[in-house]
Amino acid sequence: MSTFAILSLALLVVIVGVVAVVARQLWRTLRHTMDVLRTAGQRLQPLADELQAELAVTTVETEALRTGVERLRQPRPRRHRSLAELRPRQSKRTSRWPGRR
């Protein structure tokens, strides 16, 4: 075998070894990252459930407030007569106080 072939095979073995080591490290890092994300998801699940319940309550409260505002915006019938009906206008010739001028 020629020296070139031997060096080429040695270089190929080194490259394959480096690729294998890098692939193994990437796989470990990926598994570790997945475990961290899974653990974080498990810890955050109760908080997500609580926030979902709060959102449901807030939605109900908002709808009740919206209904109340719509009810307040509707015109209401008058309960009493208007001020003009209660106090008719007096002419300028008559005084409110008969003894005074």
Q: Where are the domains of the chain?
A: 7-68
pLDDT for the residue numbered 76: 77
DSSP state letters, 65-96: HHHHHHHHHS----SS--HHHHSPPPPSSS-S
What mean pLDDT do residues 52-62 have?
97
pTM over 0.85: no
pLDDT for the residue numbered 86: 65
101 has pLDDT over 80:
no
pLDDT for the residue numbered 18: 98
Are 96 and 90 within 8 A, CB to CB?
A: yes
pLDDT tens-place string over residues 9-56: 999 999 999 999 999 999 999 999 999 999 999 999 999 999 999 999
Q: What does each C-alpha distance from 77 to 26, 81, 83 come to in angstroms?
A: 75, 11, 15
Q: How far apart are the first and last CA of the chain?
A: 139
**How far is 62 from 80, CA to CA, in rounded Å?**
33
Q: What does each C-alpha distance from 39 to 27, 52, 61, 80 come to in angstroms?
A: 18, 20, 34, 67
Phi, psi of 3, deg, nearest 5: -65, -35
Give 75's pLDDT tier (boundaries 50, 70, 90).
Answer: confident
